[in-house]
Amino acid sequence: MNRLLDKCAILLLCLPGFLMAGSVTVPVLTLLLAVTVSCAVQLLSGRRIALLILLAASLACGILPVLACALPLFFYDSLREGRWWLIVPAISVTANLGELSSIQIICILTGLTATLIWEKRSEQLEHSVTHLTTLHDGITEKNMQLAEQNKRLFEAQDSEIHVATLKERNRIAREIHDNVGHLLTRSILQTGALQILNRDETLKEPLDELKTTLDGAMTSIRESVHNLHDDSLDLKRILQELCDSVSKDAPADSGAPKFEVGLQYDASSAIPGAVKLCVAGVVKEGISNAVRHSNGDRIDVIFREHPGFFQLLLTDNGNNAEVKENPGGIGLKNMEDRAKSVGGRITFTPSPQGFRIFLTVPKQE
């Protein structure tokens, strides 16, 4: 837009020279020719043909001296193309012809001076706009990087808070189990002993009520401890640690073969503790079997929660037959027992593409 405004202003400076040419037809046609040349150069900017058009227009000033009134416009296009010397032939030819009036020459010189000033101004303006655009893009990119870093920081903080909460729940459950649980157990045993030794019928009913109360308290504490313990199990973290233990990024002194390990976890936090223990046990046993028997180099673990059940898929890309020939191994039997303990179903599928463990556990109503 700035270039177009500059050309319009330069064309206005050229008009007095055309108006003083005398007749009407030649100046008008020459002006249209100059505008056409400038438009063609603008359209073909950067190509060699644009330079040839400017050179031809400069040489044409020897045939049509009136065309020299458009020299400021040609000069502007020449500066834009980085070839200011293209108008030198036009200036030399026009100077030798002497067919232009002094006023026309003044208009041409004024136009050339104004063209040089406007072109430099436009160049500086474009440079400033480019610099500001680059600066704005850099700031935007920095802000995006900062936002991403803040997001990762908040996620790390949330993860640390979650881990600390789970550890505190585990500690509380352990404290209740080790202290209050033992005290209640001792009280229950002492009450039972008193019931056996008691010969006073008036104390029989109070002792029975005390025994019932203590048993109820023990049951309540046991359930609370189990709930706290279940909540303290972070299944995703457990699975990630199991995968990391055999991944190629694991420490070199771990001794286990290295695999490319992929983990996909898509489940809520509301998973029963028994299911968490079952899934963790199956994954641990499955990875252990892959380490011992598979000749592959990749293990994939996928755990998903569906509306009616939980699903676990563990695969490796080994193609050896050692596992196929031992379907009743202790490890596989342990995984079957774990699945049955939570009402689930587990299948083992060996194939030339690898070994596949598929576990489904229905949700309890």
Q: Give the integer Cα–Cα distance in Å for 197 and 182.
A: 23
- C-beta atoms surrounding 287 within 10 Å: 23
Give the mean pLDDT of 62-83.
Answer: 68
Q: Which residues contact residue 225 at a Cβ distance below 8 angstroms, ignoring those fewer than 6 apart?
A: 173, 176, 177, 181
Q: How confident is the model at residue 358 (pLDDT cuts 50, 70, 90)?
A: very high
The answer to whether 69 and 17 have CB atoms below 8 angstroms apart is yes
- C-beta atoms surrounding 286 within 10 Å: 26
The answer to whether 34 and 7 have CB atoms below 8 angstroms apart is no
Multiple choice CATH, 235-362, 2.60.40.10, 3.40.50.300, 3.30.565.10, 3.40.630.30: 3.30.565.10
Give the mean pLDDT of 176-192.
Answer: 78
Q: Which of 27-31, 254-258, 349-353 has the lowest mean pLDDT?
A: 254-258
The answer to whether 185 and 214 have CB atoms below 8 angstroms apart is no
Q: Give the integer Cα–Cα distance in Å for 298 and 241.
A: 16
pLDDT, tens only, 246-273: 876 655 555 556 788 889 999 887 788 7
User: What is the reported pLDDT for 96?
Assistant: 47
AA letter at 183: L
Q: Give the integer Cα–Cα distance in Å for 359 and 138.
A: 50
- Percent of the chain that is helix, strand, coil (3-state, to 5): 70, 10, 20
AA letter at 121: R
